[in-house]
Amino acid sequence: MENITVFCDFDGTITKKDTVDHFLSVFADNKWLESEKLWKNGKIGSKECLIRQFACINYISENQLDNFTENIEIDDYFINFIEILNIFENLNQKKIKNEFKPSKPAKPSFGFFTPASQTNFYIVSDGFDFFINSTLKKYGIKKFVKVFSNKLNFNKGKLTLDFPFYNSNCKKKSGLCKCEIIKKLKKERRVLYIGDGASDICASGLADILFAKDSLAEYCDENNINHIKFETFKDICEYLYLNLGEKLDVKNEMLV
């Protein structure tokens, strides 16, 4: 969208379940929950938390890993959301309302899609590329989305983690510093951010337009942070559909 860069969380935002938590609940011993508690209480950062948690997985087969990723589900309206962003990039604004109405879940209609190298939409996740890329590929939209995340490597039943976007100056000691990525990529554009949880709190502070749900929405309520509540991407699609324009101004009555 003109003058706006969109950043979106993955786990629990794009996906129906938190992929990492679900993965650990299936394959790790229960000690992973101890690290989760330490992280939620601010005792350790997410990088240290993830390292400890994945150490609780003794062995996993390639077939188990593939079966797990095959069953990851995304929000029913996420593809609609991608389409509305790309329609806006490629068509005259006056044609938008004739071309898109978020009435039902869509399948990719690639004529409207913009390659990831040209888009202003990014997934920023403190989760893992293996889950994200496998899921995007399954739904046929991988090449249209630019992803920043931690890395999950599989070799002979063992999983190893890499954190290519770790920033030692990150106050939260996250595996991936979302704030750093947003600051580098937004340039002079306004920021629209979409998230659901603790890993989105710092990044949400950089947003000009913030869509929040679950614990992120609760945090915003408690701290009087302007945001637009959503349950699914249908809510976001409908908001964009009603408010498309050069500036996509956020109206006071839409904020909670």
Position 242 scores a pLDDT of 81
Q: What span, in angstroms and rounded, lies between the C-alpha atoms of 41 and 226? A: 25
The whole-number pLDDT of residue 246 equals 43
Which domains does the chain possess? 4-16+75-150+164-254 (3.40.50.1000)
11 alpha carbon, distance to own chain's centre? 6
Taking 60 as the threshold, does the pLDDT of residue 100 lie above it? no
pTM for the predicted model, two decimal places = 0.86
Compare 84 and 249 and report the one with higher pLDDT: 84
Q: Would the pLDDT of 109 be above 60?
A: no
Structure confidence at residue 249 (pLDDT) = 43
pLDDT score for 245: 47
Q: What confidence score (pLDDT) does residue 226 get?
A: 95
Strand pairing report for 4-8 and 190-195? parallel
Q: Is the dihedral of CA 55, 130, 76, 46 positive or negative?
A: positive
Strand, helix or coil for residue 16? coil
Per-residue pLDDT tens over the stretch 5-49: 999 999 999 999 999 999 999 999 999 999 999 999 999 999 999
3-state secondary structure of 100: coil
Give me the sheet containing 4-8, strands edge to edge. Answer: 158-162, 146-155, 121-128, 4-8, 190-195, 209-212, 228-229
pLDDT of residue 112: 43
- Per-residue pLDDT, averaged over 195-204, amounts to 94
